[in-house]
Amino acid sequence: MIQFIKHLVRFVIFASAQALVFNQLEIDYGIQFMIYPLFIFLLPYDLNIFLSLLISFLFGLTIDSISNTYGLHASSAVLIAYIRPHIFKLFEPRDSYDPGIELSLQTMEFRWVISVFSLLLLIHHFWFFLLEIFKFNELLFVFQKTILSLPFSIVICILIQTIFLRKTKMK
Amino acid sequence: MRKLFAFFRRFQVFLLFIGLQSLALYIYFSFMSFPKTQVLTSTNIVTGKILLVKNDVTKLFNLSNSNLKLQRENIKLRQKNPISFIQITRNTVKIDDTLFHQQYEYIPATVINSTFDKRNNYFTLNVGSLQGIERNMGVFSDAGVVGVVHFVSKHFAIVKSVLTADINIDVMIEGTDAFGLLKWDGTHARFGQISGISNDLRIKKWRKVVTRGGSGLFPKGIPVGKVYNISSIEGQPLWDVTILFSEDYRKIQRVYVIKNFLKTEQEKIESLIPEDIIE
């Protein structure tokens, strides 16, 4: 129950922060800050995949409806929710994950978090910008946006993890 | 039959993923082509309210700037006021003026949500059908043209801005009378393109670009920007004209929506033009 409320609160905070704050920060060269993949990343890793797909869909749709992007965020959110378990399996440590643990910077190694999270973000960004632009003759622009936005999103998400997630450490 | 169930069970995760993904893409592409999904946009009452609150907070940051702009516009209007003219001839005749019919009316509005770094950017305004906004009305600010109303709810309207790929407002370059369609290539919020200008016309840099007023969306002569760069397109007898927008769409706040009283009349008479026979 506590878990449920915690994730519900995160849902609201991440969605409003993305739509009302980070989508308003606009720098040129097509750089965009994405923090909402962090919410999907932080869902319990043993959560039923049906549930996590549905949650991500709703989550993306919430952001879409505030920021006038109509299904763009929903599509990318569902994609990474689907890919997430596969990537976790790919980077599984030798003695597998401890059950019930939250996979974040507090419980896992820095290297693990960086590699898993940036891979997820890379897929997310590429898919997002590909859909947003949706022209093959502007493919270079898609790459430019992806590559330029990626470091910004990663740094912001790592900062959020180190600053705000400290209390949930070690139950 | 059992095999079919087995198939579904085996691929149930993937099928759900495909289902949700196609739903999201359906919403996305149906919006891109035609505004059906009113529920999911910020013209929706709930998200509209959220954006109004957000705008209440953020508009104060730009208050002094918007005041300055309004003041400048006031000065411009005041100069046109009869009070500021010296009367030269005294023998005036009172004319009940039927020569001039009002063709355009302007409805003031505030941009409560906007983007400029997406491929296609839409602005949300705080006026809607209650204020008499309809689809396909032109929108401009004191500095230049902004876009066209894309769809409307009771209290809000979404504007397809100049910063979209196919905005296609007809513009002309002052002095040369060359006209073309306004485009945006998605790279920078300050620069746009004009397509369809024949390269036998001589175009000078920094010439003003204004609306042509052909489609009845905008009155003639609303500023758009200035010619910034001209280059030739290989293999086509056309100029590739880059313009610098006169409005900075990154900071836009106050806009006016144009109501054209003669639009239906113009559309009606233009529909009488026979369609080209396609062979």
B227 Cβ contact list (under 8 Å, min separation 6): B173, B203, B204, B205, B206, B207, B209, B241, B242, B243
Q: Do A71 and B17 touch (CB under 8 A)?
A: no
Please give the radius of gyration of chain A, using alpha carbons only, rounded to the nearest integer.
Answer: 16
Residue of B nearest to A31 (CA): B117
With beta carbons less than 8 A apart as the criterion, state whether A81 and B45 touch: no
**Number of helical H runs and strand E runs in chain A:** 6, 0
Output the pTM of the full model. 0.66
* CATH class, range B170-249: mainly beta
Q: Which amino acid is at B64?
A: S
Can you tell me the distance from the alpha carbon of A61 to that of B121, in angstroms, rounded to the nearest whole number?
Answer: 18
Can you tell me the distance from the alpha carbon of B5 to that of A11, in angstroms, rounded to the nearest whole number?
Answer: 35
Give Dmax (Cα) for chain A: 51
CA distances from residue A10 to A14, A54, A59, A62, A87 in whole angstroms, order as listed:
6, 16, 11, 13, 22
Torsion of the alpha carbons at B36, B39, B41 and B43, rounded to the nearest 10 = 100
Predicted confidence at residue B92, as pLDDT, reads: 47
Q: Do B115 and A57 touch (CB under 8 A)?
A: no
Query: Does the beta carbon of B28 lie under 8 angstroms from any beta carbon of chain A?
Result: yes
What's the whole-number average pLDDT of chain A?
85
Chain B residue numbers touching A50 (CB-CB < 8 A)? 12-13, 16
Q: Do A75 and B16 touch (CB under 8 A)?
A: no
Can you give the pLDDT of all 279 residues of chain B as single tens digits? 788 888 777 788 888 899 999 998 888 887 766 544 455 566 667 777 777 888 787 777 778 888 888 878 887 787 776 655 555 554 444 445 556 667 788 888 888 888 887 888 888 888 888 888 888 888 988 888 999 998 888 888 999 898 888 788 888 888 887 888 888 888 888 888 888 888 888 888 888 888 887 777 888 888 899 998 888 887 888 888 899 998 888 888 888 888 888 888 888 888 888 776 554
CA distances from residue A149 to A6, B57, B252 in whole angstroms, order as listed:
29, 27, 24
User: What's the residue count for chain B?
Assistant: 279
Q: Do B13 and A49 touch (CB under 8 A)?
A: yes
With beta carbons less than 8 A apart as the criterion, state whether B69 and B254 touch: yes
Q: Which of B28, B47, B117 sits opposite A70 (nearest CB)?
A: B28
**Min distance A169 CA to chain B CA atoms (Å):** 31
- How is residue B90 written in tokens? 């005294």
Can you tell me the distance from the alpha carbon of B130 to that of A48, in angstroms, rounded to the nearest whole number?
Answer: 46
Can you tell me the distance from the alpha carbon of B185 to that of B192, in angstroms, rounded to the nearest whole number?
Answer: 7
- A83-141: per-residue pLDDT in tens? 998 898 888 877 777 776 777 777 788 888 889 999 999 999 999 988 888 777 778 88
Angle between helical axes of A49-67 and A72-90 (0-180°, round to 10): 150
Can you tell me the distance from the alpha carbon of B115 to that of B249, in angstroms, rounded to the nearest whole number?
Answer: 9
Chain B residue numbers touching A127 (CB-CB < 8 A)? none
Q: Do A68 and B124 touch (CB under 8 A)?
A: yes
Coil, helix or strand at residue B272? coil
Chain B residue numbers touching A49 (CB-CB < 8 A)? 13
Q: Which of A26, A54, A66 sits opposite B117 (nearest CB)?
A: A26
- Name all domains of chain A by residue range, CATH numbers in brackets: 2-168 (1.10.1760.20)
Chain A residue numbers touching B50 (CB-CB < 8 A)? 16, 20, 66
Q: Which amino acid is at B16?
A: L
pLDDT at A76 over 90: yes
Smallest Cα–Cα separation from B252: which of B159, B165, B183, B182? B159
Interface confidence (ipTM) of the complex: 0.82
What are the beta bridge partners of residue B158?
B124, B151
Chain A residue numbers touching B47 (CB-CB < 8 A)? 65-66
